[in-house]
Structure 1
Amino acid sequence: MDIASLDMVMFLRPTESPTVFLQQLGRGLRISKGKEYVNVLDFIGNYEKAGRAPFLLNGGACVGERTAYDYSEIEYPDDCIVDFDMRLIDLFREMDKKSLSIKERIQQEYYRVKELLDGKSPTRMELFTNMDDHIYEYCMKHSKENPFKRYMDFLYEIHELSDEELLVYNGIGKEFLQLIETTDMQKVYKMPILYGFYNDGNVRMAVTEDEVIESWKRFFNRGTNWKDFPQVTSYEEYRRITDKQHLSKAKSMPIKFLKASGKGFFIDKDGYALGIRDELADVIKVDAFKKQMKDIIEYRTMEYYRRRYVEK
């Protein structure tokens, strides 16, 4: 609960997030009649995040490599007056020299989101949903630091994989998941095929033509997904497309390209429209694999439509 007259803040809980630190500090920064200042008692060393306060008050708009700030040129929000003691500015500059790299910023953002989720490790979708926009945009522009490109690698590096996820990570399941995580997506057509394999968590080793059509139509019937058909100008026109035409498009585009660029994971199987390698038969039954597969498909679908919206 926010109490404007509050004039003392005590830090009793550590946080890895500068943003959470500022939110906690902000509890005592509300203006109130007769209130001249706020006392801050820090029992656990959160003061080390204090150097980020000017950056965060500025809106946190600058995300990049290690840098030092000119505190005299920072633009604060309207009606916001910030007056730092010169000795404090010198301290901030010293702290800038130890400022975080973008890789460290992304890791701290992960831990901040984890705090929001009460200690639960965020999925790709949860990290995206709660991630600071500026950091997410940086991730999208810099593939090398982008955790969404190799999310299990990212989790492994910061020791956030569960025991079951480690079993998947150390086997062929990781290779398959990374394939669908990074497969080219100029169009969204591969996603309904992958949903057909995922099959609401009962992962299939192969999909029939009827199963392809069912998954395909379920995907494109949702919302305005049907607009991804370039020659279709209305929903009524889309509804007139026959199952045979849907199957033909699925075979000539996503199924063809998954077999061609799928590193041998997607194969022809007699009696089926498409199959996956027999070596995956055991890992597709593992809950951690199913969770990762679903998360990848959902995130990549969301990111495709987000990107298309931004471009328009």
Structure 2
Amino acid sequence: MAPGNACFVTEFILMGLTDLPYLQLPLFCLFLIMYVFTVLGNVGLITLIGLNSHLHTPMYFFLFNLSFIDLCYSSVFTPKMLTHFTSKKNIIPYGGCMTQLYFFCCFGISEAYVLTSMAYDRYVAICNPLLYHVAMSPKMCSSLMLGSYLVSFLDATAHTGCMLRLTFCDANTINHYLCDILPLLQLSCTSTYVNELVVFIVVGINVIVPSVTIFVSYGFILSSILRISSREGRSKAFSTCSSHIVALSLFFGSGAFMYLQPSSAGSMDKGKISSVFYTNAVPMMNPFIYSLRNKDIKLAVRKTLKRSSFILLYVAVLFSRRHFLKTLSFFHWMFFPALSKIS
């Protein structure tokens, strides 16, 4: 076993989703469209929440952070993934691979805890509405977000640190479209027992703790909704939580399928497909899931469009006025000297 961080491999080859040539162009177009929608959707949501004061509430504070995380999360690996579809060999340096692994873990774990914080926010809003502004104070919201980022930073450091202690001898082809933990463990020529133990413990905690918190929160939420007498009130409460439940199911379901199973070649091929949901589909869908049926977001869109139209109109008038004055001065320069000469 080589000591310390010694490694013989200086670069890795990412296999991608498939090696079939006739699928490369369609997949490139598909994931490019998904990434464009991801960037536009999340940047748009971040801009709307930042510009509209009526969205400066705990719910949209968490949604703002979720959009920021989704934007960074998808940008960690999607550009590199797209280059694979247009090149024969998708090579990534050893240092770049470890960096990608770190930020992939960091943003992925932070998303899990932000979704958990959003579930707690919904629980307080529905079950204890009179105490909502006290329980979800700015200090409490900031503490929840700070805790989410801190846990993700520590867990990503643990995963990456354990990966750096491994030695990679000859095999350097990663059976994935990104530098993920389990595909890298299959390439190591040293013992991966400690790494697998860390993966099982850390991933287990990061799936079980948020899942239990979410299930308990939604258990109380469901109980409170069923006690609402009016049908309209129950429907409104259900619609408030439905988008969050969809996002939770996609993210945690596909993540658990990928990591909470033995690492083998067959499971890795299935895992690549399931990972598309939490790496590409969820960041793209979240802005639309949370905004399509949201009246506050629709109101913010209308206000922003009106504001933008006014600004564009003001700029156009200012430009036209300046252009008119320039034109007038040009004619004055052309004709008035001639008139003075005639006189």
What TM-score results when the alignment is normalised by the length of structure 2?
0.17
- Higher radius of gyration, 1 or 2: 2
The structure richer in helix per residue is 2
